[in-house]
A = this chain, B = another copy of it.
């Protein structure tokens, strides 16, 4: 196949997730992913540093998206309104055509301890990104930290809820509702 074919990255991603699901993450080699995608190892390494990055590169994009959305929220926005804007913006990473990929990814991560560890770490990094962005808006601690924790928790729950859904509901809507649920739960906590 031509190396100029579009969507090379997504083809590699689909091939990787198929293989991870079929034979397990640990037992899948980069060469096999490239072969399944009809591409070379060299092409794989132009897109990803290793097979783990196929599963986690999206979270770096999310980090930037979150930081930019919080920074760009109206000056009058409350901390949770800024986080709501960030969660809604992250919906671009979860379009309907990626629904099956998101489900596969969830199952692959859930089945592997070191991937679960990586997921928890990435979630924690995302929390810190949101907390920093809120502090930069003048939100004092501990409010910035608490709001960021709720935001990260809402994000994680929304991802699982979306993946568990029929796929008809928009990620942004699920995320907004989930954050509001968490806000109410936090306010009622004794």
Contacts and interface: CB of A to CB of B under 8 A. Distances in A.
Interface of A: 78-81, 117, 120-121, 123-125, 128, 142-143, 145-147, 149-150, 153, 157, 181-183, 185-190
Number of copies: 2
Given A146-B182, A150-B149, A181-B142, A80 B124 contact: no
14 contacts: A78-B190, A80-B189, A81-B190, A117-B121, A120-B124, A124-B124, A143-B185, A143-B188, A143-B189, A145-B153, A145-B182, A146-B189, A149-B150, A187-B187
Contacts of A78: 190
A189 B186 contact: yes
Contacts of A187: 186-187, 189
Given A120-B124, A186-B186, A189-B187, A146 B153 contact: yes
